[in-house]
Amino acid sequence: MTETAEPDFEVIVIGAGMAGCVTAYQLARQGRSVLLIERGEAPGSKNLSGGVLYSRGIEQVFPGFLDEAPVERRITRNYITFLNAESSVAIDYKDGRLADPVNAVTVLRAKLDAWLADKCSPRTAPPASGSSGSGPETTSCTRMWLSRPMV
Ligand SMILES: Cc1cc2nc3c(=O)[nH]c(=O)nc-3n(C[C@H](O)[C@H](O)[C@H](O)COP(=O)(O)OP(=O)(O)OC[C@H]3O[C@@H](n4cnc5c(N)ncnc54)[C@H](O)[C@@H]3O)c2cc1C
């Protein structure tokens, strides 16, 4: 009888959005073997455009994020409009403290999600803490894009 090697992972993360990618990255960094699955053709396929990302949290996960990641603009000014059916009131808010450290940026999710997923690739996944930094045990994140039609 022939034995077939079955893929074996400690964690399977469904969905390579921001949450899934960061979760897979963090688990791989802790030495877990992770499978990251995305139903789109590639991470970011789901997202239509982009938006505002409050970046101080993700900067802690990826030091240097603002310089390395595909960030469109750093936000230092906010123009907020409150609307009702007849009228509006606007606040124009600019503050140097929003820039140092950077509080928020604009991103295009198709670009950002692809960058995050690349961080989870076997090539770039971080070594498990305590490892020598080489060998298969240090590249514990496997990725799979299903290319199925989006619902
Ligand atoms: C119109 C709109 C505007 C927004 N603007 C902002 C904004 O400006 N700033 C902000 O911070 N947030 C914004 N949000 C919220 C933000 O998009 C979400 O909070 C964020 O995307 C959640 O990240 P996530 O990784 O949990 O999920 P998602 O980004 O939704 O990622 C989930 C991933 O899982 C995949 N997936 C789902 N089901 C399966 C499956 N069964 N098998 C395989 N893969 C699967 C999807 O294809 C997708 O890639 C906005 C949301 C919307 C709808």
CATH of residue 106: 3.50.50.60
One-character DSSP codes across 55-72: THHHHHHSTTHHHHS-EE
**Does 6 map to a domain?**
no
Phi, psi of 110 (to 5 degrees): -60, -40
pLDDT digits (tens, 9 = 90+) for 66-87: 999 999 999 999 999 999 999 9
**Does 56 map to a domain?**
yes
Bridge partners, 104 (sequence order): 54
Give the number of other CB atoms < 10 A from CB of residue 53. 20
Contact (CB, 8 A) for 143 and 125: no
Contact (CB, 8 A) for 110 and 47: yes
Three-state DSSP class for 33?
coil
Q: Is the distance from the beta carbon of residue 125 to the nearest atom of ligand 1 less than 6 Å? A: no
**Does 55 map to a domain?**
yes
**Does 5 map to a domain?**
no
**Does 2 map to a domain?**
no
Give the number of other CB atoms < 10 A from CB of residue 76. 16
Domain range for 22 is 11-145
pLDDT for position 49? 77
- Reference 107, options 73, 138, 136; nearest CA is 73
**Does 57 map to a domain?**
yes
- One-letter amino acid for residue 25 of the chain: Y
Q: Is the pTM of this model over 0.75?
A: yes
**Does 115 map to a domain?**
yes
pLDDT digits (tens, 9 = 90+) for 106-133: 999 999 999 999 998 865 545 555 444 4
**Could you give the CA distance from residue 12 to residue 26 in angstroms, rounded to a whole number?**
13
* Dihedral of the alpha carbons of 122, 150, 14, 48, in degrees to the nearest 10: 70
**Does 151 map to a domain?**
no
Q: Is the distance from the beta carbon of residue 20 to the nearest atom of ligand 1 less than 6 Å? A: yes
pLDDT for position 123? 59
Q: Is the distance from the beta carbon of residue 37 to the nearest atom of ligand 1 less than 6 Å? A: yes
Number of separate domains in the chain: 1
**Could you give the CA distance from residue 103 to residue 96 in angstroms, rounded to a whole number?**
10
Expressed in angstroms and rounded, the spacing between residue 46 Cα and the centre of ligand 1 is: 8
Q: Is the distance from the beta carbon of residue 50 to the nearest atom of ligand 1 less than 6 Å? A: no
